[in-house]
Amino acid sequence: MTQDPNPNPRLLEGKTGVILGVANKRSIAWGCARSLADAGMRLAFTYAGERLESAVKKLSEECEGSICLPCDVTKKEEIEDTFAAIGEEFGGLDSLVHAIAYAKREELQGDFFNTSKEGYMIAHEVSAYSLTAVTRAALPLMEDREGSIVTLSYIGAERVVPNYNVMGIAKAALEASVRYLANDVGPRGIRVNAISAGPIRTLSAAGIRDFNSILDQIAEKSPLRRNVTAEEVGDACLFLVGPHSRGITGTTLHVDGGYHMMGV
Ligand code: NAD
């Protein structure tokens, strides 16, 4: 008999969350949004740039009671406005899912030592620093709510993955940020965790050179002998957002079919 991964389907009824990082249906953020919305959570979706506005708005309409707001994390005022609008609409926040990253395409190939200063800075600003910026903005809305913050990382933070380059350094900074933020906000009852997801074919992943060979390697070598899906990452996100993980903070949970612990 197959186990029902979600035995209490309305676990998050009456709760609210914000999801940063939906670009399309392939986005890991969309997998997270589906799991949280199916569990009854009311969601605020954010998008970066007008180019994505109509696509994200259309997707958000699939999740009952959701709202959709602009939030380019490189723009301080946009972060402030977005969280002010969420406060007005929802009255508070129970969760924040940070599923965004960016590096220039030319930085995701060749030798890491050729990384430009500008490429290094932009990758870190969008992919790592933004977690701290949005956590700070969300904190006033999470007071007395035992909020949960979840971000998305990758094994390239811990090990050398060819062509991942500056993004691996940014993800290492992101995972360290999770630990420092968890320590800061833990006394307020707020938790911060990361999911280190296995490779999934998304818009961002398309920018990494030889991504197909990474997928093939996981399918061949991971204990589960297959790649994971955005839905599986979404269900792990539901666990980290929901009450079943209430004793867990500052950790990085691998959702990668077990690949991270293999020696080959
Ligand atoms: P995606 O392209 O669907 O999502 C990336 C998102 O980042 C997009 O929605 C994009 O608009 C957003 N973004 C980029 N710059 C931004 C900015 N300045 N402000 C706000 N948002 C911005 O790709 P994805 O693979 O779903 O990526 C989501 C997260 O998952 C990223 O952190 C990524 O590193 C991580 N991740 C992806 C994989 C994978 O193999 N796809 C594996 C592990 C972790």
Say yes or no to pLDDT of 6 above 70: no
Average pLDDT, stretch 87-91? Answer: 98
> What is the residue with the minimal CA distance to atom 7 of ligand 1?
100
Helix (H, G, I), strand (E, B), or coil: what is residue 230?
helix
Contact 230, 28 (CB under 8 A): yes
Is 5 part of any domain? no
Burial of 249 (C-beta count, 10 Å sphere; 0-12/13-18/19+): buried
200 lines ligand 1 (CB under 6 A): yes
Which atom belonging to ligand 1 lies closest to the Cα atom of 71?
Answer: 20
E-strand stretches of 6-144: 16-20, 42-47, 67-70, 95-98
Expressed in angstroms and rounded, the spacing between residue 154 Cα and the centre of ligand 1 is: 11
| β-bridge mates for residue 44, sequence order | 18, 67
Is 4 part of any domain? no
Average pLDDT, stretch 218-232? Answer: 98
Say yes or no to pLDDT of 264 above 90: no
Is 154 part of any domain? yes
Active-site annotation, residues: 154, 164
In tens, the pLDDT along 13-64 reads 999 999 999 999 999 999 999 999 999 999 999 999 999 999 999 999 999 9
Is 260 part of any domain? no
Q: What is the pLDDT of residue 190?
A: 98
Is 55 part of any domain? yes
| Residue 114, number of CB atoms within 10 A of its CB | 12
CATH of the domain at 26: 3.40.50.720
Is 120 part of any domain? yes
Alpha-carbon distance of 135 to 253, in angstroms, equals 19
28 lines ligand 1 (CB under 6 A): yes
Q: How many domains, the chain? A: 1
Expressed in angstroms and rounded, the spacing between residue 1 Cα and the centre of ligand 1 is: 35
Is 125 part of any domain? yes
Q: What is the pLDDT of residue 3?
A: 63
* Local confidence band at 107 (pLDDT 50, 70, 90 cut-offs): very high
Provide the percentage of residues in the chain whose pLDDT is more than 90: 94
In tens, the pLDDT along 143-190 reads 999 999 999 999 999 999 999 999 999 999 999 999 999 999 999 999
Q: The domain containing residue 23 runs over which residues? A: 16-255
44 lines ligand 1 (CB under 6 A): no
149 lines ligand 1 (CB under 6 A): no
Is 1 part of any domain? no
* Local confidence band at 9 (pLDDT 50, 70, 90 cut-offs): confident
